[in-house]
Amino acid sequence: MMKKADNQLLVIFGASGDLTKRKLLPSLFELYVRNLLPEKFRVLGASRTAFTDEEFREEQRKAILDSPEAKPYDPEQVGRFLQLVHYLSFDSTNEAEYGKLKERIEQLQQQNGLDDRIIYYLATPPVMYESVPVSLQKQGLNKPRTREGWRRIIVEKPFGTNLESAERLGEKLRKIFPEENIYRIDHYLGKETVQNILVLRFANGIFEPLWNRNYIDSVEISATETLGVENRGKYYEGAGALRDMIQNHLMQLMAFVAMENPAVFDPEPIRDEIVKVFRAIHRYSPTEIWNDVIRAQYTGRTVGGTALPGYREEKGVAADSTTETYVAMKLFIDNWRWGGVPFYFYTGKRMAEKKSEIVINFKSTPTQMFAGQCSGSSCNKLTIRIQPDEGITLKFGLKMPGAGFTVRQVGMDFRYSSLSSNYLPDAYERLLMDAMLGDSTLYARQDALEASWGFIDPILQAWAKKPDKNLYTYPVLTEGPEERYDLLYHGAGAPGPEIPTGPCKCGK
């Protein structure tokens, strides 16, 4: 039986926006259906759009029932859930309005018998991540009034746009909320399959002896999408794939793969190990940046009679934009476990497939003695499929039945869908639930963010100085730029593994 959080209020700033509609309210509804919300619980949405409580509920009702991921929900159950949801029309950039917010909060607490526990969720444009907490503090809304009360704040990404801004934001927030009450969201950490990396590694004895530079040839971590920038062109122009996906999601995946076991399974020891990995990443020299990191933009083409725009034709994107929609890079972790093992990252929008996965390529045998025996780095590989078709496959060679000794590669497969209860919660369900319970394990800590920005910053700076250098193109719905083969896997002088996106050359 899952533990329930103490009674509390969740205040969402930016509640009329896309994130609230697509992720936050549907996830809260799932928690409601599973009876995981606190016994007494209220949501207060706050943004400028003029809604009454009823109008806001109607908006959310449609979003929950009509979303592409919606299950056949009972509309009456949705209606009952929405009675927990309220709305305040409020301009969070105007300090004078925070008195109104305070009144509404106190009214909801009194009317619903809530103790003084509040989570603030910043689902506003990032420019407001500093100003909203400052205004909350001016009204005394950042501190609980009672001993058993608390105030937590969840901050959406992007958490800064470089090291300096991330440090500044962290510093500001820590003056207003204690570090342990600041929850910096990285939704990849809320994915069931990502959490399973820790269980796979630390609940099984068989992997640990192999999990190092002696047996692992390379690690590939990828997240590709078929969608383009959709209606987020303006945001994406200032972000690009390196900030949008690698600085946070792919680096967090790498940390789970590469970290040492924490002494105990508690938030701080786990986060300590994550930081150690980020700090041990080899910092690129100026030459290595151009050899080991490539970027590209998708270009338009017609697919099945439909003309698909290129990145530079998207709404909100400059016609001469140099923002990357694809990044592939090779990096190393300079420690005893991983020294010399290349980690390959690649991510891109508008690619052939929506897929996120981690592939551990083990070293092959020193000699080949059988017909058909695999050689190279992708003979024995462990693939952790984050999404879709969530699961894990181990690939190895076995004898074909019959005369002789001919080897065939086979896969030993675990699929989440084959579990008797195959419900996979959305990442936001898990993360919201954890914040309500006060468990920050799956949230990013400030020092980890700074360490990851510290690695990313020099790349951003080099690109800013030479905006066109190593900026390639790839047609929409393809595997990425051709240049990824040369530059990444063979161009840097080191013998690389087989091309990660290519088919295995070992036969099926």
Ligand X SMILES: O=C1O[C@H](COP(=O)(O)O)[C@@H](O)[C@H](O)[C@H]1O
What does the block give as tokens for 361?
Answer: 């390529």
Select 184 or 385, whichever has its Cβ closest to ligand NDP: 184
Q: Is 282 one of the annotated active-site residues of the chain?
A: no
E strand or H helix at 295, and its extent? Answer: strand 293-299
3-state secondary structure string, 252-279?
HHHHHHHCCCCCCCCHHHHHHHHHHHHH
173 is in an annotated binding site: no
Select 177 or 298, whichever has its Cβ closest to ligand X: 298
Residue 223 binds which of ligand X, ligand NDP, none (CB < 5-8 A, kind-dependent)? ligand X
Report the alpha-carbon distance of residue 181 to residue 438 in Å, rounded: 8
> Strands, DSSP E only, in 273-377?
293-299, 301-303, 306-308, 326-331, 343-348, 355-362
Q: Does 60 bind ligand NDP (CB under 6 A)?
A: no
- Strand pairing class (216-224; 306-308): unpaired
What does the block give as tokens for 104?
Answer: 């509404």
Minimum distance between the CB of residue 83 and ligand X, rounded to whole angstroms?
30
Query: Looking at 59, 97, 220, 225, which residue binds ligand X (CB under 6 A)?
Result: 225
Q: Which of residues 137-156 bind ligand NDP (CB under 6 A)?
A: 156
391 is in an annotated binding site: no
Report the alpha-carbon distance of residue 341 to residue 22 in Å, rounded: 39
- Strand pairing class (355-362; 381-387): antiparallel
HSE (side-chain half, CA atoms, 13 Å) at 127? 4
What does the block give as tokens for 243?
Answer: 């900030």
What does the block give as tokens for 385?
Answer: 């499929």
15 is in an annotated binding site: yes
Select 117 or 349, whichever has its Cβ closest to ligand NDP: 349
Report the alpha-carbon distance of residue 169 to residue 214 in Å, rounded: 41
Q: Which of residues 2-21 bind ligand NDP (CB under 6 A)?
A: 14, 16-19
Minimum distance between the CB of residue 431 and ligand X, rounded to whole angstroms?
12
Minimum distance between the CB of residue 223 and ligand X, rounded to whole angstroms?
6
Amino acid of residue 258: A
Q: Does 347 bind ligand X (CB under 6 A)?
A: no
Query: Looking at 59, 156, 217, 244, which residue binds ligand X (CB under 6 A)?
Result: 244
Q: Which of residues 448-487 bind ligand NDP (CB under 6 A)?
A: none
Residue 356 binds which of ligand X, ligand NDP, none (CB < 5-8 A, kind-dependent)? ligand X
- Strand pairing class (150-155; 182-184): parallel
Residue 18 binds which of ligand X, ligand NDP, none (CB < 5-8 A, kind-dependent)? ligand NDP
Residue 181 binds which of ligand NDP, ligand X, none (CB < 5-8 A, kind-dependent)? none
Count of residues of this chain found to bind ligand NDP when the rule CB under 6 A is applied: 18
Beta bridge partners of 408: 398
Report the alpha-carbon distance of residue 132 to residue 120 in Å, rounded: 10
- Burial, 264: exposed, middle or buried (Cβ in 10 Å; 0-12, 13-18, 19+)? exposed
DSSP 8-state secondary structure symbol assigned to residue 333: B
Q: Does 324 bind ligand X (CB under 6 A)?
A: no
Query: Looking at 12, 123, 289, 456, which residue binds ligand NDP (CB under 6 A)?
Result: 123
Binding-site positions:
14-21, 48, 157, 187, 191, 225, 244, 349, 354
Active site members = 249
The residues that touch ligand NDP, with contacts defined as CB under 6 A, are 14, 16-19, 47-49, 91-93, 123-126, 156-158
- Residues of this chain that interact with ligand X (CB under 6 A) are 223, 225, 244, 356
Residues making up the annotated binding site for substrate are: 187, 191, 225, 244, 349, 354
